[in-house]
């Protein structure tokens, strides 16, 4: 990969949008849900430019579908994602003295890596990460941005930031401090040790551990829970709970007080009230 125009960002965009680039993301629609698979297994689904750009386009399209309630993100075995592409990182290092300097790489990190994270967090759709193997770097960051993480017994969380001379990235610092606290997050960073699925469950980094063969079925069960709820309920709860994570108790209470009356106006709530009052289940 070369950077004749002196911009690593533009080069990566061009490579990612190349119409002849191989398919690196598979999307399977299943009614009100979809399964998105990162698909470059020989390189452990490393986040190459084509994979990142294809993933962003796929998730943007799914997010715009009003009939879609949930999205499962997983990787083609044997791993979820090895994280950033080292070839891409080398290109950035070799062109660090370009006219735009670090701001050039910042564009890719913010617009592409961060853009996908913001899409997942800001969507009304529920995102479930199904960790089928090792998850590292930005791949891990995206998984931790999802609303739920289901792990196969083969899943491994790989905190490789420190060994590479990097810091927690793309929202990982936010996610880790809320799950582990400041000291726990710092210890996670300093140790840099691989964390198996059951340890991750004990630490609260994942919500469920299942056998490898049951991973997608278990993730799909969570999608079914969403499908059983009135559409507005899950969408509003996701926004509310994410907002409450950064709010004081009083601010969270206020958010609920403003949101709750809207639920009272829905037909689903009215039907449930009548059914309960009539003694029906």
- 193 and 266 housed in the same domain: no
What's the domain range around 262?
231-277
* Dist. CA 24–CA 74, nearest whole Å: 12
- 273 and 144 housed in the same domain: no
At residue 51, the pLDDT reads 96
What's the structural domain count of the chain? 2
- 144 and 264 housed in the same domain: no
Within a domain: 3: no
* Dist. CA 205–CA 10, nearest whole Å: 35
**Residue 18 pLDDT level (bands cut at 50, 70, 90):** confident
Cα 61 to chain centroid distance, Å, stands at 16
pLDDT digit string (tens) for 206-257?
999 999 999 999 999 999 999 999 989 999 999 989 888 887 777 777 777 6
Within a domain: 1: no
From 227, 245, 262, the end of a domain falls on 227
- 154 and 199 housed in the same domain: yes
Q: Output the six-digit token pair for 238.
A: 């996701």
- 59 and 151 housed in the same domain: yes
CB 128 within 8 A of CB 72: yes
pLDDT digit string (tens) for 79-132?
999 987 766 666 655 555 665 555 677 788 888 989 999 999 999 999 999 999
- 138 and 260 housed in the same domain: no
Name which residue leads in pLDDT, 264 or 184: 184
Scanning the chain, the segments in alpha helix (DSSP H) are 8-16, 49-63, 86-94, 102-107, 114-122, 137-145, 172-191, 197-203, 215-227, 231-244, 249-264, 267-277
- 66 and 164 housed in the same domain: yes
Give mean pLDDT, residues 29-49. 95
Q: Is the peptide bond before 144 cis (omega within 30 degrees of 0)?
A: no
- 217 and 268 housed in the same domain: no
* Dist. CA 10–CA 18, nearest whole Å: 12
- The pTM is what? 0.87
- 90 and 18 housed in the same domain: yes
At residue 5, the pLDDT reads 47
Residue 66 reports pLDDT greater than 70: yes
At residue 105, the pLDDT reads 74
* Dist. CA 232–CA 229, nearest whole Å: 8
- 221 and 244 housed in the same domain: no
**Residue 2 pLDDT level (bands cut at 50, 70, 90):** very low
Residue 191 reports pLDDT greater than 60: yes
* Dist. CA 128–CA 145, nearest whole Å: 9
Question: Under 8 Å CB-to-CB from 140, ≥6 apart: which residues?
Answer: 80, 81, 83, 157, 158, 159, 172
pLDDT digit string (tens) for 119-143?
999 999 999 999 999 999 899 999 9
Using a 10 angstrom Cβ sphere, with 0-12 exposed, 13-18 middle and 19 or more buried, the burial of residue 59 is buried
At residue 204, the pLDDT reads 94
- 176 and 273 housed in the same domain: no
Name the region of 53 (left: φ>0; alpha: ψ -120 to 50; beta: rest): alpha
Q: Give me the chain's average pLDDT, please.
A: 87
At residue 96, the pLDDT reads 58
Within a domain: 2: no
* Dist. CA 43–CA 134, nearest whole Å: 12
Within a domain: 94: yes
Question: Under 8 Å CB-to-CB from 213, ≥6 apart: which residues?
Answer: none
In this structure, what CATH number is given to the domain that contains residue 21?
3.90.226.10
Phi, psi of 243 (to 5 degrees): -65, -40
Distances in Å between the Cα of 32 and the Cα atoms of 136, 142, 148, 277 are 29, 22, 17, 30
- 183 and 239 housed in the same domain: no
From 187, 203, 227, the end of a domain falls on 227
Residue 8 reports pLDDT greater than 60: yes
């Amino acid at each position: 990969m070369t950077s004749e125009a002196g911009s690593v960002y533009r080069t990566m965009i061009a490579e990612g949008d190349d119409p002849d680039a191989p398919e690196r993301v598979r999307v399977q629609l299943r009614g009100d849900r979809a399964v998105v698979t990162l698909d470059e297994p020989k390189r452990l689904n490393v986040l190459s430019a084509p994979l990142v750009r294809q993933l962003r386009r796929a998730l943007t399209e799914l997010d715009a579908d009003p009939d879609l309630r949930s999205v499962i993100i997983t990787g083609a075995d044997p791993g979820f994602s090895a994280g950033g592409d080292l070839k891409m990182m080398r290109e950035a290092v070799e062109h660090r003295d370009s006219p735009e300097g670090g701001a050039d790489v910042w564009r890719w990190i913010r617009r592409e890596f961060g853009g996908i994270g913001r899409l997942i967090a800001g969507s009304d759709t529920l995102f479930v990460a199904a960790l089928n193997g090792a998850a590292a770097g930005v791949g891990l960051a995206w998984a931790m941005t999802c609303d739920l993480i289901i792990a196969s017994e083969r899943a491994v969380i790989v905190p490789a930031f420190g060994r590479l001379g990097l810091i927690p990235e793309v929202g990982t610092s936010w996610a880790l401090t809320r799950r582990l606290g400041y000291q726990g997050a710092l210890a996670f960073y300093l140790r840099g040790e691989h964390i198996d699925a059951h340890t991750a469950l004990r630490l609260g980094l994942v919500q469920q551990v299942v056998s490898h063969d049951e991973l997608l079925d278990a993730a799909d069960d969570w999608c079914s829970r969403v499908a059983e709820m009135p559409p507005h309920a899950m969408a509003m709860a996701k926004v509310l709970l994410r907002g409450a994570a950064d709010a004081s108790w009083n601010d969270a209470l206020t958010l609920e007080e403003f949101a709750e009356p809207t639920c009272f106006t829905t037909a689903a709530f009215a039907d449930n009230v009548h059914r309960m009052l009539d003694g029906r289940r």
